[in-house]
Structure 1
């Protein structure tokens, strides 16, 4: 779940996709060079919309943290004129590069603020960012001649049930596509190689753990009354499949279902991953979650709670992003630690 809102790659209504595509093509027809047919879009299908830029973007705005961190990881801070919707502090190794990029808003910026930067590309991490309740629909940007990109892992609303889960390949695809748009494909391949190497190292750590395939892990994002927990299709699903453990909700096809504690008690997960969120709503922080686990008369009796078989994880790692690899590494380390305690 994103800290303002998460999800995946296959469900724009045909009418909306047609309207957006028509708007983009109309803008391209009006602003493109004369004297020859327009070339193919740089990305033919981005959640049902083609993305075409007039050369590598020089004034990009990233509307969500995960794409900001991809761009910073690709060394593109000099091509950025704005960021927004921050859910965690920037990754420490990217802090210096990030300091040079203007922050338009901590949460959703206004359309006017984005357009005021005169962007030549706008990148969004979640379907909801491109709605009237977010910043603006993609067709609205198209009316102003601004191409938009949406994370291929989050084409649909977060509550949508997905036909197939998001995978690491979707994250790698996003890295490569952003690198392609900015004409730095070699940097994209280098970053993907680095991420793959980290994943393989984490898998090697847990390869010899006994009973790993029977270990059930619950990812608790937010709320105490009726918690948001991880279904099988988002970043926690990536993490559990990668490490060969079981997601406590493998039968739920949405990313972040809201459930009752009675059902959690019935499933009796072995390990709890607690979202350590920087926002300040009920049940968001790590300490609020620990306090609830220790004091609720029923939940405090879970074996995982009594033994404190839990660990924190940032919101960025629990959403689909390059930080999901951080989550894989962190859970691998915790599983090794728990194995040594038995």
Structure 2
């Protein structure tokens, strides 16, 4: 992140204060609307976006940036979203208000609709990934955004990893996005609290597992249940899931695969024979429906000839953790790290 000097001082001070506080309060005091501005933030490709004041009409490309704005207490600035969160996907405290957000597109927002939305900011989770609307001619160009007065900001944790050239092994990019959105919306104190709490949770896991050699950590497959039973998918080393799995003390069986998600064959999954399998069920709206999804996934893995002999399947080493908490950049990624680590290392990491 690149902020002008005043913004940087405010963000740093807020982070240090929140670290001393030792927790995330339900409602943090927010910076006055004019404090810390102008703010200049880097985008994926090295360009910069400058904010002279907090945006007031934000459109989000999907639930990831939308949820972050809710955590920051800036949800009243949201004009609309694409890829709206499915029922049960958002944290319970935000669910009712999130359901009221205008849906501009069930998937990618159509170019014409986005440009005509009246937004002053579009937070883009996907476009720089060359997918989910990033194809030429589908997403607006920077010139088209500028012509209608919409600032265009990428969510760096999901839209930009490919530029780093290396695997994503921690949540620093997610935390960086929270700080960037906090600086841009004038909610830096809240962002500092959230980041401090995430770092506390992942730091406790890291310290608990410090003496476990890397080559003795269990192998782990994130099973995208949405692809069942046809095309299995690999969560590669630039997907947020790779960071979650690594921080939890496991080795992603597709950690050698560059990029985000990629289709693979069942024979390849079998060859990697994971010690543990996470049943990445996409939220179905309520606990009973989710449980049915987990049960269906187990049934498939046990009955499908290619997977029935996998070590994890034979030994019932399954983690029933919904997909969104692992694969979508979120404050809750840190909770997933702890939940996985508690399952894999019950004697070293305690729930809480």
Shorter chain as denominator, the TM-score bin is: 0.7 to 0.9
CA distance in 1, matches of 2:252, 2:146: 40
Tell me the equivalent position of 1:303.
311
The partner residue of 2:152 within 148, 153, 156 is 148
Q: Report the alpha carbon displacement of residue 298 of structure 1 after superposing the two structures with TM.
A: 2.7
State whether residues 61 and 126 of structure 2, in contact with CA within 8 Å, keep that contact through their aligned partners in structure 1.
no
Tell me the equivalent position of 2:92.
92
| Residues 118-140 of structure 1 deviation map (CA, whole Å, 9 limit, x = unaligned) | 11111111124444575534442
Further displaced range: 297-306 or 139-148: 139-148
Further displaced range: 231-240 or 206-215: 206-215
Extract unaligned runs of 5+ from structure 1.
1-38, 280-284
Counterpart mapping for 1:32-111 below 5 A: 42-88=40-86, 89-111=89-111
Extract unaligned runs of 5+ from structure 2.
1-36, 285-292
Q: Report the alpha carbon displacement of residue 237 of structure 1 after superposing the two structures with TM.
A: 1.7
Name the CA shift for 1:267/1:98 in 2 (closer, same or farther; >3 Å). Answer: same
| Residues 224-260 of structure 1 deviation map (CA, whole Å, 9 limit, x = unaligned) | 3331022222222212321232111222222223222
How high is the TM-score relative to the length of structure 2? 0.74
Does 2:235 correspond to 1:227?
no
State whether residues 77 and 100 of structure 1, in contact with CA within 8 Å, keep that contact through their aligned partners in structure 2.
no
State whether residues 218 and 269 of structure 1, in contact with CA within 8 Å, keep that contact through their aligned partners in structure 2.
yes
- Please give the root-mean-square deviation of Cα atoms over the aligned residues, in Å: 3.2
State whether residues 60 and 120 of structure 1, in contact with CA within 8 Å, keep that contact through their aligned partners in structure 2.
yes
Does 2:242 correspond to 1:237?
yes
Tell me the equivalent position of 1:259.
264
How high is the TM-score relative to the length of structure 1? 0.76
Tell me the equivalent position of 2:165.
163
Further displaced range: 67-76 or 329-338: 329-338
CA distance in 2, matches of 1:138, 1:91: 33
Does 2:328 correspond to 1:324?
no
Further displaced range: 54-63 or 101-110: 101-110
Q: Report the alpha carbon displacement of residue 262 of structure 1 after superposing the two structures with TM.
A: 1.7
CA distance in 2, matches of 1:175, 1:301: 42
CA distance in 1, matches of 2:194, 2:236: 28
Does 2:254 correspond to 1:249?
yes
| Residues 76-133 of structure 1 deviation map (CA, whole Å, 9 limit, x = unaligned) | 0111111221354212122244245333333222234334441111111112444457
